[in-house]
Copies of this chain bind each other. A is one copy, B any other.
Amino acid sequence: MPAPDRTAAKEKFMAFLEEKNLRITTQRRAIVDTVFGTDQHFTAEQLLEWARERDESVSRATVYRTLPLLTESGLVHEMDFGKDYKIYDPNYADHPNHNHIICDDCDKIVEFESNKLDELENEISHKLGFSVKSQQLRINASCEEMKKLGECKNKGL
């Protein structure tokens, strides 16, 4: 996947705030700069830590208040990987509907997109009398490297 334009995402979010008559505060700026300054998936707690490196005054409450705005804007995607915390994906607006394969042995995560999959989901949903609003496919798998090693060196790759 090509490198996305993070500046554009940030500006879109600022416009989103303005449209809803929400204010641009220094804490929100720190959070937003953090979110759109990385390609990585992150947790709420990681976001708090990173944002605090930019502005020490950012609180947990503000992070948790800002995350729903980010997802509502469509620029960040909230995901479940079967853990007891949520994972956020800042690289979403550029790759809508992408999904993930997770290696259970080494925790490696690979992203993919598939038009065939999207079509199939629409087809199935239509047959059952639904219209798709969103979807999330998680494939838990074993990667080649792990098969070769024959042994689980967790997080060793």
A38 within 8 Å of B (CB atoms): no
Nearest-neighbour CB distance to chain B for A115, whole angstroms, equals 11
Question: Number of contact residues on A: which range applies?
Answer: 20 to 34
The verdict on A128 contacting B101 (CB below 8 Å), with A80-B80, A80-B82, A117-B120 known, is yes
CB–CB A124/B112 < 8 A: yes
How far is A103 from B104 in the complex, measured between Cα atoms in Å? 30
A144 within 8 Å of B (CB atoms): yes
What residues of chain B lie closer than 8 Å to A144, measured between beta carbons? 129-130
How far is A142 from B129 in the complex, measured between Cα atoms in Å? 9
CB–CB B120/A147 < 8 A: no
How far is A116 from B127 in the complex, measured between Cα atoms in Å? 14
